[in-house]
């Protein structure tokens, strides 16, 4: 076994092991949320996943961004064919091991990947231009300053490096094939590599061409390994999580609010009706991530930070502090903080262990000004391309602040008093049902 094969296997094992530990940690953090049974309507859920995650049905509401994103998405999908071949070649020490098996189909696939890579390169340049030169407004919000902005640019620059590696590898390979090098068997013509790169290599010796081909090969693979390790720290985790997130998204109608079981039972008892939720626990909204559903926590990690939710939010448009995107980012940041402070935990006792060491909550990340600015219009829910619902945690935090902290805007106090005393939002002197007798 050559040193290159040993190095390849050790490097791959280290990268995938590190990434695996990070992904497992995220999985454990998501399980800190409350249980929620989402095993119903499997057909509708599969349809949502195929439509919104795989086919990106909502992306094309904004055609320019939608089509450019599609170029990068398709290039990412089909480039995995080359990645699989690189892994096989790296482990076995062979070269283009799929070519003899696939024949002419192999030539077609590599050409197709190169064409997609060109489109992806153009899309990447456009996205960099939109973020850093044009400065599209939804990418200039306060929550994207610092790391989130750098994160987006790093991924785009990594995409350029990945494409560079592909063309260096294929171009030098084509030049070596044209020179009838014995180690580089003919695979058919890679048209874009020949057009852009291989002609520039015509004056290079075979040794230099082999070095360039290996440089491109290793650059391509190293960027992918770096991306795999980096992914769990990046908003681009949505590449994978968009699929389960779309599958487990709520199937309830927009705007339908969930009742609090304990309070519903109390109201039904006051009205002389039988309790609907037997043995219901007191559940007065959300204080921290432990009070959210695991689905809400999955949504926080799935957020693409595209800002479409914030862009359509009427509260944000009128200058208020609320940004639905920031809400999801804050939940994710709080989860990461919990993960850093609890190194060893079991899902069942994580909250008790953590609360003994930490006095923070989601209210340290999300201000009351933000949660009370929300109009509950569901515009953010409708805008999200992967079916994230920022409204749920906002309303749940609002419930906690009102019911537990006796909070809420002072203007709302007369309404609360009327609801308590008259079962209506308006303070009226007669019984609510008096109109029936008239």
pLDDT band for 438, please (50, 70, 90 cuts).
Answer: low
Residue 327 tokens read as 């809400």
Instruction: Tell me how far CA of residue 106 lies from CA of 86, 113, 178, 188, 193, in angstroms.
Output: 14, 11, 18, 9, 15
Q: Considering only CA atoms, which of 5, 151, 178 is closest in space to residue 91?
A: 5
CA–CA separation, 301 and 297 (whole Å): 7
pTM of the model: 0.86
pLDDT digits (tens, 9 = 90+) for 66-110: 889 999 999 988 888 889 999 999 999 888 889 888 888 999 999
- Looking at residue 342, its pLDDT comes to 66
pLDDT band for 282, please (50, 70, 90 cuts).
Answer: low
Instruction: State which of 112-126, 251-265, 281-295, 352-366 shows the largest mean pLDDT.
Output: 112-126
Please say if the pLDDT value at position 338 is more than 60: yes
- Looking at residue 413, its pLDDT comes to 82
Query: In the block, which residue shows the tokens 């939010």?
Result: 313
> What percent of the chain clears pLDDT 90, i.e. is strictly above it?
51
3-state SS, the chain, equals CCHHHHHHHHHHHHHHHHHHHHHHHHHHHHCCCECCCCCCCHHHHHHHHHHHHHCCCCHHHCHHHHHHHHHHHHHHHHHHHHHHHHHHHHHHCCCCCCHHHHCHHHHHHHHHHHHHHHHHHHHHHHHHHHHHHHCCHHHCCHHHCCHHHHHHHHHHHHHHHHHHHHHHHHHHHHHHHHCCCCCCCCCCCCHHHHHHCHHHHCCCCHHHHHHHHHHHHHHHHHHHHHHHHHHCCCHHHHHHHHHHHHHCCCCCCCCCCCCCHHHHHHHHHHCCCCCCCCCCCCCCCCCCHHHCEHHHHHHHHHCCCCCHHHHHCHHHHCCCCCCHHHHHHHHHHHHHHHHHHCCCCCHHHHHHHHHCCCCCCHHHCCCHHHHHHCCCCCHHHHHCCCCCCCHHHHHHHHHHHHHCCCCCCHHHHHHHHHHHHHCCCCCCCCCCCHHHCC
3-state SS, 370-424, equals HHHHCCCCCHHHHHCCCCCCCHHHHHHHHHHHHHCCCCCCHHHHHHHHHHHHHCC
- Looking at residue 109, its pLDDT comes to 92
pLDDT band for 351, please (50, 70, 90 cuts).
Answer: low
The answer to whether the CB of 301 falls within 8 A of the CB of 234 is: no
Query: In the block, which residue shows the tokens 């537990």?
Result: 404
């Amino acid at each position: 076994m050559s040193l290159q094969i040993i190095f390849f296997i050790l490097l791959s094992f280290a990268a995938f092991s590190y990434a695996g530990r990070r992904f497992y940690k995220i999985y454990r953090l998501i399980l800190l949320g409350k249980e929620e049974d989402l095993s119903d309507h499997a057909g509708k859920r599969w349809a949502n996943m195929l439509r919104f995650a795989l086919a990106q049905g909502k992306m094309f509401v904004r055609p320019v961004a939608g089509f450019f994103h599609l170029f990068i998405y398709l290039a990412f999908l089909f480039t995995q064919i080359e990645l699989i071949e690189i892994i096989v070649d790296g482990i076995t020490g062979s070269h283009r091991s799929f070519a003899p098996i696939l024949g002419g189909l192999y030539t077609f696939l590599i050409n197709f990947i190169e064409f997609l890579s060109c489109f992806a390169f153009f899309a990447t340049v456009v996205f960099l231009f939109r973020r850093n030169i044009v400065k599209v407004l939804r990418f200039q919000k306060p929550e994207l300053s610092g790391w989130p902005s750098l994160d987006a640019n790093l991924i785009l620059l990594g995409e350029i490096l990945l494409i560079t590696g592909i063309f260096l590898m294929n171009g030098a390979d084509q030049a070596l094939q044209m020179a009838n090098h014995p180690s580089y068997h003919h695979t058919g013509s890679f048209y874009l590599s020949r057009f852009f790169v291989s002609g520039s290599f015509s004056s290079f010796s075979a040794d230099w061409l082999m070095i360039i081909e290996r440089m491109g090969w290793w650059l391509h693979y190293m960027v992918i390994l770096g991306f795999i390790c980096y992914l769990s720290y990046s908003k681009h985790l949505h590449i994978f999580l968009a699929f389960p997130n779309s599958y487990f998204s709520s199937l309830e109608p927009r705007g339908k609010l969930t009742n609090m079981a304990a309070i519903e039972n109390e109201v039904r008892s006051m009205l002389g009706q039988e309790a609907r939720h037997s043995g219901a626990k007191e559940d007065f909204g959300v204080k921290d991530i432990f009070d959210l559903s695991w689905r809400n926590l999955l949504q926080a990690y799935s957020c693409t930070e595209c800002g479409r939710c914030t862009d359509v939010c009427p509260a944000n448009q009128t200058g208020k502090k609320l940004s639905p995107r920031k809400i999801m980012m804050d939940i994710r940041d709080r989860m990461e903080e919990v993960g850093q402070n609890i190194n060893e935990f079991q899902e069942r006792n994580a909250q008790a262990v953590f609360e003994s060491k930490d006095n923070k909550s989601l209210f340290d990340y999300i201000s009351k000004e933000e949660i009370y600015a929300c109009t509950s219009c569901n515009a953010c829910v409708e805008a999200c391309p992967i079916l994230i619902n920022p409204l749920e945690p906002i309303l749940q935090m609002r419930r906690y602040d009102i019911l537990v902290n006796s909070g809420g805007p002072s203007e709302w106090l007369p309404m609360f008093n009327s609801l308590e005393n008259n079962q209506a939002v308006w303070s009226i002197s007669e019984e609510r049902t008096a109109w029936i007798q008239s």
